């Protein structure tokens, strides 16, 4: 229950914030959200399921709402708040603006920290090794595959100096310039080569950042880091789930990030190559450990490695022998593969197994390989721990152990991935749930690699059960929110993707935007002769766009393909001398800045962009008054996972188009339309140049799920 005292703290905080914010209007949607979030997390609706899913329209001020709904309660109950976002833009807004403001003005005593993945921190150890040198060997410990350039060495020296004198904290984001990937990848912190146990490593930037995190009451993370923590069982990187209120902002991205985290792939020849060296790594470790207890795991690793190699070789021969069947278009009987191929320029490169079912022989090998890689992983882990102990005890010299530990670290990483992949191939799919998507991808010989190789991949199709298992059922409480969670005016689609249910005591709220859509914005459905699939559609866009561009001074035109955007832009530049800024021709930041400058100077400005410009682009006020959407953002299922998902829906008697594509398109269109009005006083026009919203049955559903703009259907 929320105590009166706590309610008073929240009310007082909201009041003080209002007094310190210019142009603050207390909004009833916002106060409603604060109350609902606080009540849910306090267990007023359910003691066991403190979860609320909220679609909060643009302008509701959801970050303030969830902060005030969760932080005072967490402070009172000695819990942590973990805010997870999908985009860096939102993380920056929270850490640089919203949370500092709240801390300063809400009368709440709390600390917050941005938690970043390990790979965003430099490894002090590797950096020191990279800049070490002596007369005989100018780059001792330097691990570049090719001789580094003088400028690379200068950069590394500058990094080392800044880290040592304390002027740099050691994270890539706070380095003054953009660090080239080939430099960063050599010195970034990674789990497997980390020698944390050694006393010399107490000044490690990554571990210092983790200590700061532990002190913080509120952590800001991204979905990927959240998933990484949950994968380790929760509470390893972030606070423990049962001690944490999770706020999942931009929650519509969570299912996809979860799926990406749950997938795995390996290259067959590539894996055989490193497995050939694994036995050697084990022997080197055993020699350094110099103790009897290293002998057994080293011998076992050698034996299991040998068996693993034999099994992997069988798989390679099998795929090689069947390559003409798997990768030839003519031999393909699978309808979904056919559809996939016709839409993909790498059409003969991918073979997806129908319904995830793999040949029996492959499954048998998968079971054996999974077992053997699990055993090898265990032996290597034993050797790794023994070597660390041996260094700590002073039996092995550190300078000898370090390169071997680094090598073993990479092997551990690869073995973990190998085990994960073959586990998914060995698994027998349950008849009650969606099968795994399993596919092969041909990798043609390239300049750097003259051999034909194959990528073996697997991914779950549905991840709702993973989220339920690792997060919802474990956490103290959770708030899932976004401006676009409903699809076709229902939570069903999201609920299913995220593993939530209708009747499990989870709460659902839809809070509409305070914007006056009827009076401030018009939605025009343009009179078009052609549907987007018609060959003449692009020419019709070229012909009609100038009229719609004339509707406003600040225009954003969204396309669903690059080629169409470029073709239309070229024609309009040539025929109408229009000054158009096109996505891809400059960086996103440059496009936005130059657009704003032109708007500030009262000049016409037109941006052409694709799907990625329909989300997260913030052009308030006069920076956007004319939004044109050329085509409904349907995406054709081109990836093997999407194909497998569509196939599964069909197998269950469903219609993949209505079940997957239409709800997905509806959400994307709401996102795209959300670019127009960013503040309560903003005004403008949205023109939709896809007549299917009025000619097709599903079109009405899509139109009805948009905010209540004033509609004009051109006849
Ligand atoms: S503790 Fe690990 S990441 Fe940190 S400096 Fe040492 S080896 Fe590198």
**CATH number reported for the structural domain that contains residue 504 in this entry:** 3.40.50.300
Contact 627, 555 (CB under 8 A): yes
Residue 63 CB contacts under 8 Å (≥ 6 apart), including other chains: 93, 94, 98, 249
Question: What's the number of domains the chain is made of?
Answer: 4
- Smallest CA-to-CA distance from 692 within 648, 662, 664 is with 662
327 has a pLDDT exceeding 50: yes
Cα distance between residue 183 and residue 156, in whole Å: 8
410: pLDDT confidence band, cut at 50, 70 and 90? confident
What is the per-residue pLDDT across 542-585, written as a single tens digit (0 to 9) for each?
999 999 999 989 999 999 999 999 999 999 999 988 889 999 88
Cα torsion 382, 383, 385, 388 to 10°: value is: 170
Give yes or no: residues 167 and 65 share one domain: no
For residue 195, report the distance from its CA to the centre of ligand 1, in Å: 6
Chain mean pLDDT for the chain = 89
Residue 87 banded pLDDT, cuts 50, 70, 90 = confident
pLDDT at 137 over 60: no
DSSP 8-state symbol, 553? S
Instruction: Looking at the CA of residue 123, tell me the nearest atom of ligand 1.
Output: 8
Q: How close is the Cα of 369 to the center of ligand 1, in Å?
A: 32
pLDDT band at 349 (very low <50, low <70, confident <90, very high): confident
Residue 272 has pLDDT above 70, yes or no: yes
Confidence of residue 200 (pLDDT cuts 50, 70, 90): low
- Does residue 611 lie within any of the structural domains? yes
Mark whether 367 and 411 lie in a shared domain.
yes
Q: Is residue 47 part of a domain?
A: yes
pLDDT at 339: 43
CA of 415 from ligand 1 middle (Å) equals: 21
113 or 638, which is more confident = 113
Domain check: are 502 and 584 in the same one? Answer: no
Which of the four pLDDT bands, split at 50, 70 and 90, describes residue 141?
very low
Q: Do residues 311 and 442 both lie within one domain? A: yes
CA of 124 to the centre of ligand 1 (A): 6
Question: What's the CA gap between 643 and 437, in Å, rounded?
Answer: 9
**Cα-to-centroid distance, 456 and ligand 1 (Å):** 32
470 within some domain: no
Ligand 1 pocket test, candidate residues 206, 399, 410, most atoms within 8 A of CB: 206
Structural domain contains residue 593: yes
Predicted confidence band of residue 150 (pLDDT cuts 50, 70, 90): confident
Q: Which protein residue has the closest C-alpha to ligand 1 atom 2?
A: 194
Q: Among 189, 203, 209, which residue has the most ligand 1 atoms within 8 Å of its CB, making it the best to mutate?
A: 189
Lowest mean per-residue pLDDT among 329-338, 420-429, 593-602: 329-338
pLDDT (0 to 100) of residue 449:
66
Ligand 1 atom with least separation from CA of 193 = 7
In a domain, 466, yes or no: no
| Of 242, 220, 239, 219, the residue nearest 229 (C-alpha) | 239
Q: Which atom of ligand 1 is nearest to the CA of 205?
A: 4
Query: In angstroms, what is the span from residue 637 Cα to ligand 1's centroid?
Result: 42
* Ranges 481-490, 531-540, 706-715: which has the least confidence: 481-490
Do 368 and 448 belong together in one domain?
yes
In this prediction, residue 333 carries a pLDDT of 47
Q: How many whole angstroms from 296 Cα to the centroid of ligand 1?
A: 29
Ligand 1 surroundings by CB, under 6 angstroms: 123-125, 189, 194-196, 201, 204, 206-207
Which stretches of 402-542 are assigned E, i.e. beta strand? 436-443, 453-460, 477-482, 507-511, 521-525
Say yes or no: 433 and 375 in one domain.
yes
Asked if the model's pLDDT at residue 522 lies above 70, the reply is yes
**497 with 552, same domain?**
no
Which residue minimizes the CA distance to atom 1 of ligand 1? Answer: 196
127 lies in the same domain as 248:
no
User: Does a structural domain hold residue 469?
Assistant: no
Going by CA atoms, what residue is nearest to atom 8 of ligand 1? 123
pLDDT at 173 > cutoff 90: no
Ligand 1 center to 243 CA (angstroms): 28
**pLDDT exceeds cutoff 70 at 351:** yes
| In a shared domain, residues 313 and 403 | yes
Examine the domain organization and report whether 194 and 232 are in the same domain.
Answer: no
Half-sphere exposure of 419 (CA within 13 A, CB side): 15
Residue 467 falls inside a structural domain? no
Statement: residue 299 has pLDDT above 80:
yes
Angle at 704 between CA 700 and CA 708, to 5 degrees: 140
318 and 194 within one domain? no
Q: Are residues 341 and 433 in the same domain?
A: yes
Q: Do the domain assignments include residue 468?
A: no
**The pLDDT of residue 139:** 47
- Domain holding 623, by residue range, is 517-713
């Amino acid at each position: 229950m929320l105590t009166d005292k706590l309610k008073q703290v929240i009310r007082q905080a909201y009041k003080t914030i209002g007094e310190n914010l210019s142009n603050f209007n207390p909004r009833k949607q916002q106060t409603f959200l604060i109350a609902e979030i606080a009540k849910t997390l306090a267990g007023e609706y359910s003691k066991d399921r403190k979860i609320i899913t909220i679609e909060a329209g643009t302008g509701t001020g959801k970050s303030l709402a969830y902060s005030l709904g969760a932080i005072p309660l967490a402070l009172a109950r000695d819990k942590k708040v973990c805010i997870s976002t999908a985009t860096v833009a939102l993380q920056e807004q929270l850490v640089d603006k919203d949370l500092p403001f709240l801390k300063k003005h809400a009368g709440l005593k709390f600390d917050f920290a941005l938690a970043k993945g390990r790979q965003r921190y430099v490894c002090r150890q590797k950096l020191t090794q990279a800049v070490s040198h002596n007369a005989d060997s100018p780059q001792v410990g330097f691990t570049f595959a090719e001789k580094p350039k003088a400028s690379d060495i200068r950069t590394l020296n500058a990094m080392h100096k800044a880290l040592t004198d304390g002027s740099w904290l050691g994270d890539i984001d706070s380095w003054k310039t953009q660090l080239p990937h080939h430099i960063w990848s050599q010195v970034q912190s990674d789990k497997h080569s980390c020698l944390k146990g050694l006393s010399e490593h107490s000044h490690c930037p990554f571990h210092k950042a983790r200590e700061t995190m532990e002190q913080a009451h509120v952590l800001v993370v991204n979905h990927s880091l959240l998933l990484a923590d949950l994968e380790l069982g929760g509470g390893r990187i972030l606070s423990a789930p049962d001690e944490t209120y999770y706020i999942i902002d931009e929650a519509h991205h969570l299912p996809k990030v979860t799926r990406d985290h749950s997938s795995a792939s390996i290259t067959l020849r590539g894996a055989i190559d490193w497995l050939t060296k694994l036995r050697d790594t084990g022997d080197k470790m055993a020699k350094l450990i110099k103790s009897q207890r290293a002998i057994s795991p080293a011998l076992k690793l050698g034996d299991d490695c040998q068996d693993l190699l034999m099994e992997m070789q069988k798989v390679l021969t099998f795929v090689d022998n069947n390559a003409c069947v798997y990768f030839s278009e003519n031999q393909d009987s699978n309808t979904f593969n056919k559809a996939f191929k016709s839409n993909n320029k790498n059409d003969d490169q991918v073979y997806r197994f129908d319904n995830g079912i793999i040949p029996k022989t492959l499954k048998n090998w998968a079971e054996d390989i999974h077992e053997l890689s699990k055993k090898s992983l265990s032996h290597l882990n034993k050797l790794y721990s023994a070597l660390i102990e041996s260094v700590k005890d002073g039996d092995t010299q550190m300078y000898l152990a370090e390169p071997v530990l680094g090598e073993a670290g990479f092997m551990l990483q690869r073995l973990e991935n190998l085990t994960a992949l073959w586990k998914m191939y060995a698994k027998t799919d349950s008849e009650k749930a969606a099968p795994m998507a399993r596919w092969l991808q041909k990798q043609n010989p390239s300049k750097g690699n003259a051999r034909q190789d194959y990528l073996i991949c697997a991914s779950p199709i549905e991840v709702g059960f993973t989220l339920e298992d690792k997060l919802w059922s474990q956490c103290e409480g959770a708030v899932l929110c976004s401006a676009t969670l409903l699809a076709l005016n229902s939570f069903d689609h999201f609920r299913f993707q995220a593993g939530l249910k209708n009747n499990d005591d989870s709460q659902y709220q839809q809070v509409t935007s305070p914007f006056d859509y009827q009076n401030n914005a018009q939605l025009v459905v343009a009179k078009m002769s052609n549907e987007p699939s018609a060959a003449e559609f692009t020419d019709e866009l070229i012909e009609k766009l100038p009229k719609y561009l004339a509707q406003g001074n600040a225009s954003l035109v969204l396309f669903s393909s690059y080629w169409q955007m470029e073709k239309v832009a070229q024609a309009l530049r040539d025929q109408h001398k229009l000054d158009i800024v096109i996505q891809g021709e400059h960086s996103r930041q440059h496009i936005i800045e130059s657009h704003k400058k032109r708007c500030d100077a009262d000049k016409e400005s037109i941006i052409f962009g694709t799907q990625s410009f329909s989300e997260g682009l913030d052009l308030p006020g006069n920076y956007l008054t004319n939004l044109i959407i050329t085509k409904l953002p349907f995406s054709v299922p081109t990836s093997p996972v999407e194909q497998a998902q569509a196939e599964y829906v069909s197998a269950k008697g469903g219609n993949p188009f209505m079940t997957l594509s239409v709800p997905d398109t509806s959400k994307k269109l709401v996102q795209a339309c959300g670019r127009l009005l960013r503040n309560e006083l903003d005004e403008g026009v949205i023109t939709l140049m896809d007549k299917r919203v009025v000619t097709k049955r599903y079109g009405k559903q899509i139109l009805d799920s948009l905010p209540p703009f004033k509609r004009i259907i051109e006849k």
